[in-house]
Every structure is written in C-alpha cells, then in structure tokens.
Structure 1
Amino acid sequence: MSIKKLDSKELDTILEKMVETVDSSKGEIFQIGEQSRKDFESLSEELKTIKQLVVQVIDQGDKLELNARMARKRLSEVSSQFNRFSEEQIREAYEKAHTLQVELQMNRQTEKQLRNRRDDLERRLLGLQQTIERADYLVSQVSIVLNFLTSDLAFVGEALEDAKRKQEFGFKIIEAQEEERKKLSREIHDGPAQMMANVMMRSDLIDRVFRERGSEQALQEVRDLKRMVRNALYEVRRIIYDLRPMALDDLGIVPTLRKYLQTVEEYNKSAKLSFFNIGEEKRLNSNMEVALFRLVQESIQNALKHAQATEIQVKLEIRKDGCTAIVKDNGKGFDPTSKKEGSFGLMGMRERVELLEGEISIDSKPGAGTMVIIQIPIKD
C-alpha cells in the first residue's frame, strides 16, 4: 500500500480493534488461569482428604488383617476340637471369621479406590499446574503485545501522516523547482534577453544615424544604448542575486542580509524593512550561512506575500555557541496550530532547521502579526 493511498484514520481504527481483540483475549486467558487456580485449590483439598483416608483405611486394614488372622486361628482350633465346643461356639467362631474376612476385602477395595482417586487427583493437579503456568506466561506475553500496541504503535498513524506530508513536500519541492525554472526563463526572456536584442538592433542603427543625422544624434543613440546595457546588467544581477547572492560567499551572512533587505525594500515600495545586527559580525560555516539566509528570506517573503506586512524587522545575533535570527512583521498573522492543505513553506523551514539541529518557533495569531525565532547551534 502506498503512502498516498493510506488513510491514517482507518489505520487507527484497525489498531483500536486489534487492541480490543488482544485485550479481550488477555481477559479470557486470565479467566482460564483463575479458574484453573480455583480448581487446583479445590482438588488439592480433596487430595489432602484422600491421603488422610488412605492412611486411615490402611490402618484399619492392618487391624482387620490381624483380627481376621486371629479369627481364622480360633476357627481352626474349634474345628479341630469339635467335641470340646458347643454348636453355638462353633457357629460364632465361623461367623466372626467370615465377617472379618468380608470387612477385610471391603477395606482392600476401598483402599484401592482411594489410591486410584489419589493418583488421578495428582495427575489432574499436575495438568492444572502446567495450565496455570502457561496462562501466566501467555498473560505476560499478551501484556507485552498490548503495551506495544498502545504505546509504540499508538503514533503510527501520526507518523505515517507525517511521512505522507513529507512525500507531498518532496513533490512540492520538485514542482517548485520547475516553477522556479519557468519563472527564471520568463524573467530572462522578458528582461535581459529582450534588452540585449534591443541593444543589437540599436547598435545596428548607430552607424546609419551617424551618417544621416550627424555625430550629435549618434552620441545620443550611444547614450541610450549605454543606459539599456546598464538596465540589462542590473536585471541580470538581480536574477543572480535572487538565485544566490554572491556576497554570501564573499562577505558573509551579515552584509548579505543587510543588502538583501535594502534590495527588497527598493522593489516593495509599500513595505519598510529594518535590519539589526546585535552580535558579532563574523563568518559562519558556508552551509549554515546559506540555510540561515534562506530561512530569513522565506520569512520575509511570507510576510510580504501572505501577511501583507508594511513593516518588517530582522534581528541577527551571532554568539560563540550559536546564532539567533528573529523576523517580526506587523502583518495580518495566522494560527500556527492550524494545518493548511498545501502549506509547505513552514514545513520546509522546519526541515532546514532540523538539519542544523536547531529550533524554530512561530508566535502569531490573526490580526496580531508574526514573529519567527530561529536558533541554530554553532559547533566546533
């Protein structure tokens, strides 16, 4: 699934259902464990009782065995000396021996049943113990999964939405580059190219004017031609300056920003721009100077184009450990917390600042102007 087609809300819904399912499964496993514990306790008590009964039955069996042996011995004596005992005594000896023998057999049967029950309970208790341990393990594992779903994956939708915005931002950069190329092409075609074409035409006329109208008229044509060349050169320099001020490489960020604000003020008669350098006027890393210039440039263009500001102040402070740039305007302001569809200017500024490990804050509200604060650390 491509990021462009991804619905982050749908993903959040899927995650919520996953969390509900996992949480429900955790509850069921916990109930199985609790029921197994109850069964384990109940069977343990029964096993304890059965073991006591086994001991009692064995003890009774031993006594019955002894009594039965004595009864058989008595019956043997009575039977061997039949004439010495009465019929009542013989019957009594026989019945006693028979009764004890029956009780002994019943005792042995009861002991066997109790032993079988004891063995069965021990097997069941072993199985329950394994079930309890397995349930506890599964609950712990499900808790880990649940924690992962509710914490680590909680911001997946937001992260993917951010990735989607960055992808769109990349497309917008490509579009902006193409638009910039078209704009540059139009500016060169309508400006310097047309002027140079006129220069070529006027230069062809100078010789004819000199011959037909004299030197004075020819000198006037030369002066006009010189003015046209000067204007064409001015336009070329302006276009080059917009692309990348050469002063940035030669002089540094402070003189370049000062000159840039003067140039912008000349082109925008309705806005007053002020520059204040309150720190050291020293050179920075080339990449940092370019990034800082572009950030201030973007802030100024936003103030002029979108905020319709009439006053813009730029303050720059370069310290040993970092630099701070503040761009303040009196424009119509906006709500920085609202996300406008297709608004990639601020995103691009944040991307630049993040690359320099700096911070950017935007203080604005409708009708109260905007203040952009850019802070970039300087590392050795």
Structure 2
Amino acid sequence: MKVDNVDVKALDKVVDKMIQTVDQSKDEIFNIGERCRQDYEAISLELEEVKKMFEQVIAEGEELEVKSRLARNRLSEVNKNFHQYTEEQVREAYEKAHEFHTKLQINHQVEKQLRDRRDELERRLRSLEHTIERAEHLVSQVSVVLNYLQTDFKQVGEMIKDAKEKKDFGLRIIEAQEEERKRLSREIHDGPAQMLANVLMRSDLIDRVYRERSPEEALKEIRSLKQMVRSALYEVRRIIYDLRPMALDDLGLIPTLKKYLQTIEEYHKGTKIHFTNYGLETRLPPNYEVALFRLIQESVQNALKHAQAHEIQVKVDIQNHQVTAVVKDDGKGFDPSVKQPGSFGIMGMKERVDLLEGELSIRSNIGVGTVVYIQVPLKK
C-alpha cells in the first residue's frame, strides 16, 4: 500500500481483520467475566451458609460452656466429699465432666475451621468483585471500540489519505485491547478451577446435611443450588441482550429502548429508570436506530457505573426532521472541563454523533448529576 495513494480495498481488509480480532477478544473477556460472576454467586451462597453454621456453633459453644462448668463443679464436689457418694455417682460425675469437656473441644475446633473458612470466602469475594468490575469496564471499552469499527470506521478509507497513519491507529487499538485482555486473563486464570471447587464443596455440604440433619434440609440445599444456576442463566441472558438486542432489528428503537431500560432497572435494584417518548413511534434507518440506541445505552451505563445514580430519566422525541434524546441522572456528577482517565466511552459517543452530523452536549456539576443532550438531524 502506497502512502500517497491509499488502497481502500487493502484498508478494508485491515479493518475486517481488526473487527474479527476485537470481536474474538471480547468474547473471551465475556466468558472469563461470566465464570467469575458465577463463582461470585456460588461463593456468596456458601458464605451465607458458613455464617449461619458459625452462629449456630457459637451458640452451641456457649451452651456447652455452661454445662461443662456445671459438670466440673459437680465433679469437684464429689471429689471433696468422696465418701458421701456411691461408686456409680462418682463414675457418672467423671463421665459427664469428660463428655462435656470433649464436646467443648470439638466445638472450638469446628468454630475455628468455620471462622477460617468465612475469612477465606470473604477475601475471595472481594477479589472476585474487583475482577468483575475490571472485566465489565474492559468489556465496555472493547464494545465501544468494536461498535466504532463496525459502524463508523468503515468510512475511514474515504476520509484518511495517509495509509500508514490509519494502519498504526488500528494496530494501537488492537495492541492496547490485547494487553488489557492478557492482564485480565492473568488475574482470573484460576476462575474455572475455583468454580469446580465450589461445586464440589457444595455437593459435600449437601451430602453432610443429608447425613447429619435430614433429607428435607438436603433438598433445601439442592433447591438453593438450582436457584444459583438460574441466577447465572439470567445474567448470561441479560449480558447477551445488552450486547445486541434482536428487538432493535425487528421492532425498532422505541420498543427496544423500553425493554432494555426495563431489564437494566430490574438488574440494578437501587436505581429507578423513567422512559418517556414524546414524538413519533416510527422506524428510522437502521444506522440511525443502532447509533441512537448505543448513545442512550452508553449514557445510561455511565450513570449507573460512574455516577452511581439513584434515578435516571430518558426522554426521546422523534420528529420528521430530527431526533432528540435526553438522559438525565441524579448521580455524583463530574467536571466536564477536566479530562477523565479512561473516558473512551464519551469519545466514542462524540465520534458517533459527528458521523450522524448531530450535536452532543454534556452538562454536569459535581454533586448535582449529569444531563446528556443528543440531537440528530434526519435527512430525507
């Protein structure tokens, strides 16, 4: 490829290769993050069970302490007045004292084991939580890059005349994304092993509950395990829907936004999301529907992840000549004049709006929330 004479076909091949590589990397990151999320759910359930068993052991230990003390006092009294008691009474006093002493020692050992197990599970949960957050952040960044490559970057060959500059830009994206993926893979390389260990541990717990307690309680544990699997399946479906909702192609922008925002609200229990459509509920050209959906999706995700908003308002107004979208939240806000580290999402939003010849403005102040205003003209 000559620098002064850009070969658009060769450039398209480079872009297609970039899209394929980034898409494969995104799938791998998603799978790794999903395994960690399943591990997190399983460990959370196990931790709750361990805490309940720990509280029970503590209560039993306190009761055994009282009984052991009484047994020792009884034994001391028998020893002092040995001639006043029969041989059977003396033997009974010794056996009782020994029995409660033994039970108390076993109780202390079980308590220590449960305490150690609880602390270990809590440490693992903190580590998994950090890893999941990193994975979600990375997937979000990679999604922006992938969407940019699939929709906007296809036109770069007609706008950029320097082929070397274009190629270096694409390679830098892949290199940075690959480096992040390697780092994430190193951090959670033992995810599958931990998942299998959790399953084994859970099965051992069910077996012990069946033997030591009752079949009914064992069935409760099995139902709990099934619920954990259902939760994992729900999470997989939610993420798949988030990656590419099929309803966008079948029903259009407004119905898809309604469903998407409802799903997000169900997943984020502490946040209320209000959606209002003021204009026409009509179909738009596919590239407009995809772009507007991604812009609103990115704005809502920013409000949830970064602004920690409790209430989000999404308003859309489709008219014959333009589309207006407003996303407002009551989160912690930020200073738009200060460049945020890792603000690749906002950069991607601006690029997408520019390609639609629209306008994007973000108004925010620390402590008073953020308003994202999007206006895109519709060409006849």
Q: Of the two, which has the highest radius of gyration? A: 1
TM-score normalised to the size of structure 1?
0.44
Q: Scaled by the length of structure 2, what TM-score is found?
A: 0.44
